[in-house]
Amino acid sequence: MALDINRIEDGENLTTEFKREYTEEIKKTVIAFANTSGGVLFIGINDDKSIAGVKNPDESLLQITNMMRSAIKPDVTLFTECSIEKIKKAVVIVVTVQRGTACPYYLAGKGIRPEGVFVRQGASTVPATETAILAMIKATDGEKYEEVRSLNQELTFTETAWEFGLKNLEFALPQMISLKLATTEGIFTNLGMLLSDQSVHTVKLAVFEGLGKEIFKDRKEFTGSLIKQLNDVYSFLDMYNHTQAEVKGLYRYDRQDYPDEVLREALLNALVHRDYAFSSSTLISIFDDRIEFVSIGGLPKGISLDDIQLGLSVPRNDNLANIFYRLHLIESYGTGIPKIMRSYADCSKKPVIQTTANAFKIVLPNRNIRQDRINPMESFVASMSPGVYETARKKMSLNENEEKIIALFDNQHEIVRSDVEAALFISQAMAVRLLRSLLDKGAITVIGGGKKTRYRKTVIS
């Protein structure tokens, strides 16, 4: 190529840079040119425009081309040209860089972060701000969140790989590219980030006493990949999904507070269809009479609540939904909400769905709430002799802590949760779990509600 003498005479500026010799800092300049307006890098010229020349041009040229291939991502070589030129009997290297089409370009060892992404400001190469980086990604990758390149490129996939293995599915780079967790160049997308161990999105779950949010029983934040969050949250919900037995004639019927498939569908809906462009957590609240699931992101444009209830499915995250489908976590698109409604066909209280411009909420009624609040054994317990009670209690399978709680009734007719905490030196959450377990086993009954909740010993023989 012909050497542009006028460019040298004009000195360093937005699109021109001089370097005395090859150094590692050159890669930052190449990145900055590719991310901004392109430019020309002269190696062998001093800052004052004097010609110094390059002693070993062939060696330096090889270093530069190798550096651009190995140290800069995505591949920038298609937008660069390197040549050896002579000027005033001196040899210089000229590196011409065009603005790339896959901005932001970044240092492979630093990732898509300010310390790895550079731009030109005047005659200087400077780190890009996070706002500038996000603007470049948006301009290059478009609006769809799951297809945009992840800011974090140091991702691992322990839980997701395990889930794929359980389903006898391959999970390596070719599959990641096919499923759009990564680009064809091996750069992770936001979808990859969501399914990685480093996912920045979480689920927050709270358990409340009674029907309001005044008193916390338990709270927990679930992190990690969406697969891990799905499994962990479901296990936690299952712990609070009690089963009530009802005897009709010769047969006993067990009835859960919430059908398993309903909890599963509501949780999947909250994770798969939420808008991950927002950083807020998915929220799940457990009350005595209901569970509420609140996810960020309202209905897709043009879709009504009636459409959703009829089974119309317009996934906000198509690629995420496809992965859950491949893992057999989603049976088929659009069946979740109708399935939830059918599960409550014989119940007086039905699930409630509420939407706003930025949120989607599902409220599941507790199917056993009426029975939970009735204490048909109360009068019988009051008249039960200690000897009869002890004989019946031995038929139950109680653990050591549960036995200690039952022993509290030796000195008092009723107890409250704080009595259990003090006697066993345990947390409020643990006391609640033990009392719930005793309620499920029929060893105790609950009296009152809210702050006035009390417990009495009983037995169902």
Question: Does residue 178 sit in the same domain as residue 291?
Answer: no
Position 35 in a domain: yes
Which pLDDT belongs to residue 461?
40
Position 364 in a domain: yes
In the chain, what is the straight-line distance between the N-terminal and C-terminal CA atoms, in Å? 96
Position 306 in a domain: yes
- pLDDT tier for residue 87 given thresholds of 50, 70 and 90: confident
430-434: average pLDDT: 88
CATH assignment of the domain containing 437: 1.10.10.10
Which pLDDT belongs to residue 228?
95
Q: Which of 20-29, 221-230, 240-249 has the lowest mean pLDDT?
A: 240-249
Question: Does residue 21 sit in the same domain as residue 106?
Answer: yes
Question: Does residue 175 sit in the same domain as residue 244?
Answer: no
More confident residue, 292 or 389: 292
Position 319 in a domain: no
Residue 53 neighbours by CB under 8 Å, 6+ apart: 44, 90, 91, 92
Write the pLDDT tens digit of every residue in 311-320. 666 778 889 9
CATH assignment of the domain containing 39: 3.30.950.30
Helix axes 260-272, 336-343, angle to 10 degrees: 150
- pLDDT tier for residue 227 given thresholds of 50, 70 and 90: very high
Write the pLDDT tens digit of every residue in 316-374. 888 999 999 999 888 766 667 888 888 888 888 889 988 887 888 999 999 887 544 43
User: What is the number of structural domains in the chain?
Assistant: 4
Question: Does residue 210 sit in the same domain as residue 357?
Answer: yes
Question: Does residue 309 sit in the same domain as residue 167?
Answer: no
CATH assignment of the domain containing 306: 3.30.565.60
Select from 458, 388, 451, 411 the least CA-distant residue to 210: 451
Which pLDDT belongs to residue 226?
96
The domain of 450 spans 375-457
Question: Does residue 136 sit in the same domain as residue 155?
Answer: no
Mean pLDDT across the chain: 85
In this predicted structure, the answer to whether residue 7 has a pLDDT above a threshold of 90 is no
Which pLDDT belongs to residue 97?
94
Question: Does residue 354 sit in the same domain as residue 404?
Answer: no
Q: Which of 167-176, 243-252, 420-429 has the lowest mean pLDDT?
A: 243-252
Question: Does residue 292 sit in the same domain as residue 435?
Answer: no
Which pLDDT belongs to residue 375?
41
Question: Does residue 231 sit in the same domain as residue 268?
Answer: yes
Asked if 39 and 16 touch (Cβ cutoff 8 Å), the reply is: yes
Question: Does residue 412 sit in the same domain as residue 427?
Answer: yes
For residue 96, list its beta bridge partners: 40, 81
Structure tokens at 194: 């969501």
SS3 state at 409: helix
Select from 201, 207, 234, 238 the least CA-distant residue to 220: 207
Position 248 in a domain: yes
Position 438 in a domain: yes
Write the pLDDT tens digit of every residue in 39-79. 999 999 998 888 888 988 899 999 999 999 999 999 999 89
193-199: average pLDDT: 96
% residues pLDDT > 70 (the chain): 88
Residue after which a domain boundary falls, among 370, 404, 435:
370
Position 320 in a domain: no
194-198: average pLDDT: 96
Position 318 in a domain: no
Secondary structure (DSSP) of 426-455: --HHHHHHHHHHHHHHTSEEEES-GGG-EE
In this predicted structure, the answer to whether residue 381 has a pLDDT above a threshold of 60 is no
- pLDDT tier for residue 302 given thresholds of 50, 70 and 90: low
SS3 state at 140: helix
Residue after which a domain boundary falls, among 336, 370, 404:
370
Tell me the torsion sign for CA atoms 194, 197, 202, 205.
positive
Question: Does residue 85 sit in the same domain as residue 214?
Answer: no
126-141: average pLDDT: 87
In this predicted structure, the answer to whether residue 173 has a pLDDT above a threshold of 60 is yes
Question: Does residue 245 sit in the same domain as residue 171?
Answer: no
Q: Which of 51-65, 230-244, 429-443 has the lowest mean pLDDT?
A: 429-443
